[in-house]
Amino acid sequence: MKEARFYDRLENHRVQCRLCPHDCVIADGARGVCAVRYNAGGVLYTLVADRVISRHLDPIEKKPLFHFYPGSQSYSIATVGCNLRCDFCQNWEISQWPRERLPKHLDAGPVGEGAEPLCPRLADLDNTVPGEPVTPAQIVQGALASGARSIAYTYTEPTIFYELAYETACLAREAGLANVFITNGYINEAPQHELATVLDAANVDLKFFRQSSYSHLSRVKLRPVLDAIARYQALGVWLEVTTLIIPGVNDSDAELRDIARFIGSVSPEIPWHVSRFHGAYEMTRVASTPAETLRRAADIGEEAGLRYIYRGNLRGAGGEDTLCHQCGKRLIQRFGFQLVANEIRGGQCPACGTRVSGVGLG
């Protein structure tokens, strides 16, 4: 339990969180949209600064990051919570845990002058949030012991456990480890600028290119996600973008073309992962994405000038290999999350000498 960062104190013990574009105004005794930032007496606390719900060693390709130390391992951590509420979330059991499982009576609402202090209720919340107690130093030591090349802040939305992620990333950088964010991109400019000082790579979910879809399926705005993508690129963080293609939602040629053109306007060197949807959470009855839709999306990306496009969740279908955008030679062969062969030498295609975009490619 610790005081949160990036918030303003308001009158009547209210606070305004400035971490993400929700900019929640939170009454005394209430939580923000993410449900893990709590106002106790005009002080905003984070409930997930000292615990993780998950720690795993993953291939970096699982994130997915295909142009960042390919074939390496990433020590991956998460807490409960998210600042989006996507109907199709594949990790909803932990991302939505605070909304679905934390007792509602602990959100007391405004408390007047002279009322009982809120600390007992804060303690109740602290004792209820699940996770393994851990410190940033212990996370870094675990990553070093595992042989990982990087630490990934992933599975749920790392923005909502910003304090834990940032402190860990600072120590990781000192220890020679890279830091990667797997994120929905819903973060405000000030924390993103600070984070970029210790962040090496990010994969941002660009879920849709229609505000109506973001509103109805994720309960947020589109524009801040686009702004965050552009800022990551401008701040020098290696960037890849993922779009989960959902049949009947974001699979039209027009929307896919809009996404591809936007990515290309930021940089044609940004890898675009078009990923197959499988029913989850509140959208279990929606059919899985046809393989042909992903091939069509890849064609649209190529027409838009994107140099690196990958078709995900189609294990063994060949859409996960890295090709030279100049001569077409296969440079990296993958099977699922497994790297089979890497022929890049000195960051270049061995056949034609074209530079391959990325970090630590070989």
Burial class of residue 361 in the structure, from the number of CB atoms within 10 Å of its CB (0-12 exposed, 13-18 middle, 19+ buried): buried
Query: Could you tell me if 250 and 312 lie in one domain?
Result: yes
What is the residue-level pLDDT of the chain in tens, covering all 362 positions? 799 999 999 999 999 999 999 999 999 989 999 999 999 999 999 999 999 999 999 999 999 999 999 999 999 999 999 999 999 999 999 999 998 887 654 554 443 333 344 444 677 777 789 999 999 999 999 999 999 999 999 999 999 999 999 999 999 999 999 999 999 999 999 999 999 999 999 999 999 999 999 999 999 999 999 999 999 999 999 999 999 999 999 999 999 999 999 999 999 999 999 999 999 999 999 999 999 999 999 999 999 999 999 998 887 667 999 999 999 999 999 998 999 999 999 999 999 999 999 999 98
What's the number of domains the chain is made of? 2
Range of the domain at 204: 51-93+133-342
Q: Is the pTM here over 0.85, yes or no?
A: yes
- Judge whether 347 lies within some domain: no
CB of 161 within 8 A of CB of 155? Answer: no
In a domain, 354, yes or no: no
Alpha-carbon span 72 to 355, nearest angstrom: 21
CATH number at residue 178: 3.20.20.70
Asked whether residue 140 falls in the same domain as residue 180, the answer is yes
Q: How many residues does the chain have?
A: 362
> Tokens for 357?
């975009």
